[in-house]
């Protein structure tokens, strides 16, 4: 039986028969729940829990990579006994456990606001999850976003289970050698010492089997507890598998195309099977980027084997699926040749041989002839969204052709702007300060703008004290990191010691930390080294730069950017004032987004779908200085940071020139003078910090984001899914039959006559566009066998609003009774509009069961608008 297709099975929690292992080590009775705490990643966003583990043994805590499971396994018995009798430690322990129990057992936003929606069950599929540095199964922004999404889902009480892959070798550890060359080192993680547990069924490890060409692959199932919710992770490193197959889940984004498609089959098809095996039956499947889109095929197979017709099975799958795309360029979407898909899904197609071509067509990009994972997701998801308003626009333009001849603004891809998990990324010092001035419920109601107005009354001295402390912490961390890097590279003691004087805590400090992809242009600020030298070496108003970030091991241009930044940092005039750190990860990111003064972001617009590092910086009082791309285009208000000029409409070379000039001009004329315009305190700078925190924190957190996903996608999708499976899939079959009939007969639809009396009006007739006179027009439409009430007839024209032309759509009303297969329509429009040059008439199918207006990409029009 399928997952959401069985609405009466399962509950919001996983009602599996499996048990979780790893009662890894008995602890003294007074502290016996420490292991329970260590296995719930709630610790990663609770400052008191983190302090508790660090208090146990500070050195071992650092050596463990802040991994509480490993810490507890490696502590001596004598240490544990001593802690169990230490009054101060026991007091802190009891306080943390009280917080934990209250968190786990109290009602939350979802229960308080949607108590009647207890049937909602969400499955969130993602190729990577970034929760904490102790669980390194992430590479960058997509994974961090997924991790933050799951944390807020737990905080808000949303019943969600995650599905991903467990990478035994993670992504890679980055080392930068003495020449500035990135060295990528693979790790081998011991799962027994990570904050995850293996899932057991009847005292045996739970195994999922998926068929690949010529063999079967066994997948072990692990889980990470993230607050109230569980994230399941699939692992192919099992004795029953061939050596090559055991490596399929070894590394994130490693290997070739064969590895990539196999990983995506494991994630999508294996993930659906795993959810069934643990007893979790979702009615919402959220595909986080196209990597997981194969999940639709396993669900289709399930429904087809129940006897549902193919077209009805597709509608059933669509009814319960949400798709989020993160990629604003066509080259970033995963594609495979049809032959490769046929080969890797060979065993799958053997079971469904008569549906093979129909299934392949779901992912076929007719323009390229490739199987496109984003096309598969678009064809099998009812609701789709980009991750910022601008990215939504870019996605609608990118996939306009996919949806037929309609205006890009009508393409059914919405947007939900990304956010970040506040309690993970806002420094504890900031949270403690806000506790003194904001209401006691500000964390729970962080998406409420009114909660943040009190930031204005926080004394400037308090703001600057917190920022200065975090900046000094960051500089100590940077110096230590650079010293360790030089020591490992075998550099002289003199070179190691000189790092102690690097970076001035009083100097304006700019941070640039992110993936070193070429479009992010890490070297843009180096385009005029003469002007940069003057900024960096100004005795009275110095500027310093901190860089960090990894380039994919196969991205050689990205690695060259790292070398360039390193080479510039080693020039005499920049030594100790420009630095680049190795192995950017969650731990390092916290120091940087909390400690710099300005966060620099200068991608080529519009190639940054959203970007979230600047959001993390903003809630820590760090001011953004960014190209108006991704989230910053909607977040920037002129007073809460700075914009790097150019709209992005220019060619790349022109945009490069405009952005470069804007960076230097803004630094020289605005940012540097404002920072150093201070007596005892930089009051004007602090005022801008306050505006940044107050305006950006309530909008760009994952509580707001996940609430949006819940109310805009999860709730309507769960309701629609229940409707589609009820009464033996009655509505699913109706919708599928309706669409099949409309597709087969739409060619009959013709607009045969437009009566537009304006054609006789002289072009010299004066027009008042502010208060136009109106006129009636009529259109005669031939429908053939299609019922005229199954279609909408509309007038379409464009109106100039400012610098843009905005589409206007006016519904036409049926005029009198239909005559045979013909119906006349009427509408009132501004009299100066002339059919042909100014407006067109179109016909499109409609149904009350459509989730959006253009669910069927069929439009008959008198003009082809471009």
CATH code 3.40.50.2000 for 459-696: yes
Q: Which residue, among 258, 245, 248, 220, has the nearest Cα to 344 in the 3D structure? A: 258
| pLDDT, tens digit, 9 for 90 and up, residues 632-664 | 999 999 999 999 986 656 688 888 999 999 999
Provide mean pLDDT across the span 399-427: 94
Rounded to 5°, the CA angle 782-312-860 comes to 25
Q: Give the class (CATH, top level) of 749-861.
A: mainly beta
* pLDDT at 223 exceeding the cut of 60: yes
| pLDDT, tens digit, 9 for 90 and up, residues 195-204 | 999 999 988 9
Could you tell me the maximum CA-CA distance found in the chain, to the nearest angstrom? 99
Which regions of the chain carry the CATH code 2.60.40? Answer: 749-861
Which regions of the chain carry the CATH code 3.40.50.2000? Answer: 459-696
| Residues in CB range of 858: below 8 A, 6 or more apart | 404, 742, 743, 746, 844, 845
Rounded CA Rg of the chain: 29
User: What value does the mean pLDDT of the chain take?
Assistant: 93
Provide mean pLDDT across the span 394-423: 93
Give pTM, 2 decimals. 0.95
* 538: DSSP letter: -
Distance CA 320, CA 713 (A): 10
| pLDDT, tens digit, 9 for 90 and up, residues 136-178 | 999 989 999 999 999 999 999 999 999 999 999 999 999 999 9
Provide mean pLDDT across the span 695-710: 98
* pLDDT at 16 exceeding the cut of 50: no
pLDDT at residue number 767: 52
pLDDT at residue number 7: 40
pLDDT at residue number 816: 86
Provide mean pLDDT across the span 409-437: 97
For helices 295-305 and 373-380, the axis angle rounded to 10 degrees is 50
Give a three-class secondary structure readout of 760-787. HCCCCCCCCCCCCCEEEEEEEEECCCCC
What confidence category does residue 818 fall into, taking pLDDT thresholds of 50, 70 and 90? confident
* pLDDT at 761 exceeding the cut of 80: no
Rounded to 5°, the CA angle 42-48-50 comes to 65
pLDDT at residue number 434: 98
What confidence category does residue 763 fall into, taking pLDDT thresholds of 50, 70 and 90? very low
Q: Which residue, among 252, 248, 261, has the nearest Cα to 373 in the 3D structure? A: 261
* pLDDT at 762 exceeding the cut of 50: no
Q: Which of 231-240, 256-265, 313-322, 751-760 has the lowest mean pLDDT?
A: 751-760
| pLDDT, tens digit, 9 for 90 and up, residues 466-514 | 999 999 999 999 999 999 999 999 999 999 999 999 999 999 999 999 9
Q: Which of 22-31, 90-99, 745-754, 841-850 has the lowest mean pLDDT?
A: 22-31
Provide mean pLDDT across the span 301-326: 97
| pLDDT, tens digit, 9 for 90 and up, residues 55-66 | 999 999 999 999
pLDDT at residue number 653: 86
| pLDDT, tens digit, 9 for 90 and up, residues 779-800 | 999 999 999 999 999 999 999 8
pLDDT > 70 in the chain, percent: 95
pLDDT at residue number 22: 45
Higher pLDDT, 254 or 134: 134
| Residues in CB range of 803: below 8 A, 6 or more apart | none
* pLDDT at 865 exceeding the cut of 80: no
* pLDDT at 10 exceeding the cut of 50: no
Phi and psi (nearest 5°) for 429? -60, -40
């Amino acid at each position: 039986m399928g997952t959401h297709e069985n609405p009466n099975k399962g509950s919001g929690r996983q009602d599996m028969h499996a048990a979780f292992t790893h009662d890894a080590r008995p602890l003294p009775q007074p502290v016996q729940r420490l292991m329970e705490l260590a296995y719930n990643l709630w610790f990663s966003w609770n400052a008191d829990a983190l302090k508790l583990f660090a208090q146990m043994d500070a050195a071992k805590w650092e050596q463990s990579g802040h991994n509480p499971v490993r810490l507890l396994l490696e502590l001596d018995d004598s240490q544990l006994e001593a802690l169990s009798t230490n009054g101060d430690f026991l007091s802190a322990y009891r306080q943390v456990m009280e917080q934990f129990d209250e968190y786990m057992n109290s009602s939350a936003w979802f229960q308080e606001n949607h108590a009647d929606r207890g049937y909602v069950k969400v499955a969130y599929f993602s190729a990577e999850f970034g929760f904490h540095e102790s669980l390194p199964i992430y590479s960058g922004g997509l994974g961090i976003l997924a991790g933050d999404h799951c944390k807020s889902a737990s905080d808000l009480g949303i019943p969600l289970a995650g599905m991903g892959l467990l990478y035994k070798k993670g992504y890679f550890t980055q080392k930068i050698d003495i020449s500035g060359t990135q060295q990528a080192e693979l790790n081998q993680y011991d799962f027994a010492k990570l904050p995850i547990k293996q899932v057991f069924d009847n005292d045996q490890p739970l195994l999922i089997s998926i068929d690949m060409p010529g063999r079967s692959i066994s997948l072990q199932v692990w889980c990470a507890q993230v607050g109230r919710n569980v994230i399941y992770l699939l692992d192919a490193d099992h004795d029953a598998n061939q050596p090559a197959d055991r490596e399929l889940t070894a590394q994130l984004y490693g290997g070739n195309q064969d590895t990539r498609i196999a990983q995506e089959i494991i994630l999508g098809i294996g993930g659906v099977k795993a959810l069934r095996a643990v007893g979790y039956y979702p009615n919402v499947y959220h595909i986080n980027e196209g990597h997981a889109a194969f999940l639709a095929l396993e669900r289709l197979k399930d429904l087809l084997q129940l006897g549902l017709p193919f077209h009805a099975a597709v509608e059933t799958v669509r009814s319960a699926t949400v798709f989020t795309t993160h990629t604003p360029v066509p080259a970033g979407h995963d594609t495979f040749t049809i032959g490769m898909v046929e080969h890797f899904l060979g065993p799958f197609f053997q079971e469904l041989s008569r549906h093979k071509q129909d299934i392949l067509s779901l992912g076929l990009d007719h323009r390229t002839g490739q199987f496109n994972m984003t096309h598969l997701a678009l064809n099998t998801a009812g609701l789709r969204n980009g991750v910022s308003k601008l990215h939504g626009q870019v996605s609608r333009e990118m996939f306009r052709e996919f949806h037929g001849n309609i205006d890009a603004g009508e393409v059914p891809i919405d947007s939900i702007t990304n956010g970040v998990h506040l309690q993970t990324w806002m420094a504890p010092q900031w949270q403690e300060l806000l506790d003194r001035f904001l209401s006691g419920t500000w964390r729970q109601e962080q998406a409420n703008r009114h909660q943040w107005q009190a930031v204005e009354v926080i004394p400037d001295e308090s703001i600057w004290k917190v920022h200065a402390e975090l900046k000094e912490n960051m500089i100590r961390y940077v110096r230590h990191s650079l010293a360790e890097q030089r020591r490992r590279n075998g550099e002289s003691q003199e070179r190691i010691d000189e790092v102690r004087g690097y970076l001035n805590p009083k100097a304006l400090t700019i941070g640039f930390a992110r993936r070193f992809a070429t479009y992010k242009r890490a070297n843009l600020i180096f385009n005029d080294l003469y002007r940069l030298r003057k900024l960096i070496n100004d005795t009275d108003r110095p500027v310093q730069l901190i860089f960090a970030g990894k380039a994919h091991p196969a991205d050689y241009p990205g690695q060259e950017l790292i070398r360039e930044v390193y080479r510039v940092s080693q020039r005499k005039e920049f030594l100790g004032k420009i630095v680049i750190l190795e192995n950017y990860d969650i731990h390092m990111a916290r120091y940087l987004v909390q400690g710099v003064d300005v966060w620099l972001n200068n991608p080529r617009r519009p190639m940054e779908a959203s970007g979230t590092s600047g959001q993390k910086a903003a809630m820590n009082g760090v001011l953004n200085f960014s190209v108006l791309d991704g989230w910053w285009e909607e977040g920037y208000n002129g007073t809460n940071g700075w914009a790097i000029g150019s709209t992005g409409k220019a060619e790349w070379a022109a945009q490069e020139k405009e952005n470069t000039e804007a960076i230097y001009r803004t630094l020289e004329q605005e940012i540097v003078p404002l920072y150093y315009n201070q007596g005892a305190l930089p009051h004007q700078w602090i005022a801008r910090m306050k505006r940044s925190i107050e305006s950006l924190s309530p909008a760009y957190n994952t509580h707001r984001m996940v609430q949006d996903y819940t109310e805009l996608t999860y709730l309507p999708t769960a309701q629609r899914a229940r409707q589609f499976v009820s009464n033996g899939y009655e509505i699913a079959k109706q919708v599928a039959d309706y669409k099949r009939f409309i597709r087969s007969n739409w060619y009959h639809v013709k607009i045969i006559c437009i009566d537009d009396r304006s054609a006789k009006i002289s072009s010299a007739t004066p027009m008042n566009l502010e208060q136009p006179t109106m006129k009636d027009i009529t259109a005669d439409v031939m429908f053939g066998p299609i019922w005229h009430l199954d279609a909408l007839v509309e007038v379409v024209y464009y109106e100039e609003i400012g610098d843009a032309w905005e589409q206007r759509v006016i519904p036409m009303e049926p005029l009198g009774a239909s005559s045979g297969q013909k119906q006349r329509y009427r509408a009132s429009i501004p009299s100066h509009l002339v059919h042909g040059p100014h407006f067109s008439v179109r016909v499109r199918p409609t149904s009350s069961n459509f989730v959006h207006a253009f669910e069927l990409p069929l439009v008959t029009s008198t003009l082809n608008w471009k």
